[in-house]
Amino acid sequence: MMHACPVNFIKVDETVIRLNAWLNLLLIGAYFYWEMPLFIMMLGVDYLLKQTCPKTSPLGLAAKGVGSLLRFKVRSVDSAPKRFASFLGFIMILAALALLQAAQPMAADLLILFFALCTFLEGAAGLCVGCLIYRFLPGRLKETLR
């Protein structure tokens, strides 16, 4: 039996989140094409903003603009699992940047590819890997993360 995720009663637009995933993939593609860590740093800044003041995330604002321009339907979902997934993404980006700084490009690239896979699943299928992990966290930890 599946249990519903605890809610924090703050809704976000899943359509914007999925569009944001595609923008993330563009930056990841640019990183691999030009081999410039700057693109991963840009993702890191965006994810930091998503954690501290989500309404100022440049990629989030761009995704929202694209969604409005194309008149995509708003799909409201609870923000708690999405916020947790974003936190995991931020940790992966920080780890990748640390690996790049430590002259471990292959390890960094593998982590970035895993991040890209998770991002692709979100963008293409609406499958949020971080949300799945969130679902199985103990209740007390979920309360702390809200």
Collapsing DSSP to helix, strand or coil, 104 comes out as coil
Q: What is the pLDDT of residues 43-96, one digit of tens each?
A: 999 999 999 998 999 999 999 999 999 999 999 999 989 999 999 999 999 999
Closest CA to 24 of 142, 133, 116: 116
Predicted local distance difference test score (pLDDT) of residue 1: 36
Q: How many Å separate Cα 57 from the centre of its chain?
A: 11
Give the predicted TM-score (pTM) of the model: 0.89
- 112 located within any domain: yes
Supply the range of the domain harboring residue 41: 11-136
- 144 located within any domain: no
- 142 located within any domain: no
In this structure, are residues 93 and 47 in contact, taking their beta carbons and an 8 Å threshold?
A: yes
Q: Which residues contact 58 (CB under 8 A, 6 or more apart)?
A: 46, 49
**DSSP classification of residue 8:** -
Instruction: Name the domain count of the chain.
Output: 1
- 5 located within any domain: no
- 37 located within any domain: yes
